[in-house]
A and B are shown apart, each in its own frame.
Chain A
Amino acid sequence: MVSLEREPPNVLARVLLVVTAPMLVVGCSALGPPGPAAPSPQSTPPGSTGVPASSNYRAVLDWRQATIELPLDHFGMSLREQQLVTVAASVLFARCVDPKHAVSHIAKDRARRYLRVEPDATHWLFGYWDASYLKKRGLEVNAVHAPTLSAADQATSLQCAADPIYAEMEPISADVQPRTGEFDGLSRWSAEAYEKTVADARVADLVHRVDDCILQAGLTLDRTSPLGGVAVDDAWSEPETLKALVVEATCRDRVDFVQRASDVAAAYQAPMVTDHLEELTKMRAAATVRVAKAVDILREVGLI
């Protein structure tokens, strides 16, 4: 595996320079790598991916955390930023439900714990891959790691959850269907590109190759999924399930499935970025402001 520099497309590079500059000023220490879990794009060597030559957008895979970064993702929060606002929200909630408006030690411990681990992420957008990561982390990677909010009575919880300051700490990302329509373009366009990708003939061809590999390993196919992959039997133990999914991941890695499928998705996203650049730039700016507030909140309680 070779570490490569990211090659953002020209338009993106310009936009990102503009929108991320304030972020660097606001809290580069907070947004930077917190330790071993910090996200850092790391790609496999580039190869022929079958993506239209007209596209200079390329998906970036992080093999250390089994994550995929697509062009639209640049305009939402990074995984680390999502982690920061999620934790800040838990702090605000803890303070809100406490009669003395203090943040309990339990809430701080939970927050601190989540800040130290890899943020929850969409790892398997195009099926299981990155076999070494999957073997290392196991199925625990699918767990919910975000901090549990402080306990309170129902009325207080409702009141605090409805507080606009708390609501403002919602992550801006393709994974989140926002409370207001202001930022829903990110998830909507990402979804449109995803649908086109899984229906793309090039991806279907790759699915066949992955499925052939799985069959050769003696496993049954999930024929209901456009992504192909292993059919998991409910009766299997966790180790048995993991073993089968590692086979699926190995087969996908063997044909560079996720890089290629992600590059197809990136190519579908490219015109969306161009068409909605102004709107997306506003989203990124809002994300930057939101993250800055989160950083302030976390600093105030000594979490960063």
Chain B
Amino acid sequence: MTVKTDVRSTGRRIALALALTPLLLLWNPAASFAEENVGPTPPATTTNSPTVKTSETGSKVTPAIALPPDPQTGCIVYPGGIYGCWWERSGYRGATLSIPAVKFAKDTTCGYYDLTANPSGWANRISAVANWTRSPHYYYNQKNAKGSRLTVAAFTSKSSLSSTFDNRILSMTLTCYAA
């Protein structure tokens, strides 16, 4: 019950932030670079994702973003930072999707649980990943955290993926941080 309430309230906050994001992007010419094919979308928590779970992981508010993306990669860096970035081709090439650093009231597990739906266009299309958070990202080759799991540790990037995951990722979970 608590979780539902938290998610709804954070969802409203995120919805507001997302509504403002396009406006901010309009003022940032560099931001359109990586918008080649896919628009940024928040973690699935903002769309009533099935596996949102709120959990306390720390009593202190901490900065969310560990590292900036390499400027060479083409990842958009939103004003609030990003949690990571995906590429459609190995070697950090091709279209990219930045994961915006949506702030929560407290550290929260969120994720993309069905890449065929959200963000659309990224199902079976990820060939390189970067984790710019201070917690692991878990990637799965089936929807809803099913199938084989790939752990991408904090501060780690993978310029290419094994055959199990190359162009075969369908869901992921990560930690969204407290504001």
Q: Do A and B bind each other?
A: yes
- Which of B113, B137, B162 meets A191, CB within 8 Å? B162
Chain B interface (Cβ within 8 Å of chain A)?
3-4, 7, 44, 47-53, 55, 57-60, 62-63, 66-68, 107, 109, 111, 113-114, 116-118, 134-138, 142-151, 153-156, 158, 161-165, 173-175, 177
- B117 near A238 (CB under 8 angstroms)? no
Report if A177-B135 is in contact (Cβ < 8 Å); known contacts: A139-B53, A191-B164, A234-B118. Answer: no
A135-162 contacts to B (CB < 8 Å): 138-140, 142-144, 146-152, 154, 157-158, 161
Q: How far is the CB of B153 from chain A (nearest CB, A)?
A: 7
Contacts of B174 in A (CB 8 A): 144
What 1/0 flags go to A240-275 for Cβ under 8 Å of B? Answer: 110001000000000000000000000000000000
Contacts of B57 in A (CB 8 A): 110, 113, 147-148
Q: What CA separation (Å) do A158 and B156 show in the bound complex?
A: 10
- A143 near B143 (CB under 8 angstroms)? no
Chain A interface (Cβ within 8 Å of chain B)?
89, 106, 109-110, 113, 120, 122, 124-125, 127-128, 138-140, 142-144, 146-152, 154, 157-158, 161, 170-171, 175-177, 179, 184, 187-188, 190-191, 194-195, 222, 224-225, 227, 229, 232, 234-238, 240-241, 245
- A122 near B149 (CB under 8 angstroms)? yes
Contacts of A175 in B (CB 8 A): 148-151
A-B contact pairs, 22 of them (CB 8 A): A110-B57, A120-B136, A124-B145, A125-B146, A140-B55, A142-B145, A144-B135, A144-B136, A144-B138, A148-B57, A149-B66, A149-B155, A154-B67, A177-B150, A177-B165, A187-B164, A188-B163, A191-B148, A227-B146, A232-B144, A234-B118, A238-B53
- B51 near A238 (CB under 8 angstroms)? yes
Contacts of B58 in A (CB 8 A): 106, 109-110, 148
- B117 near A234 (CB under 8 angstroms)? yes
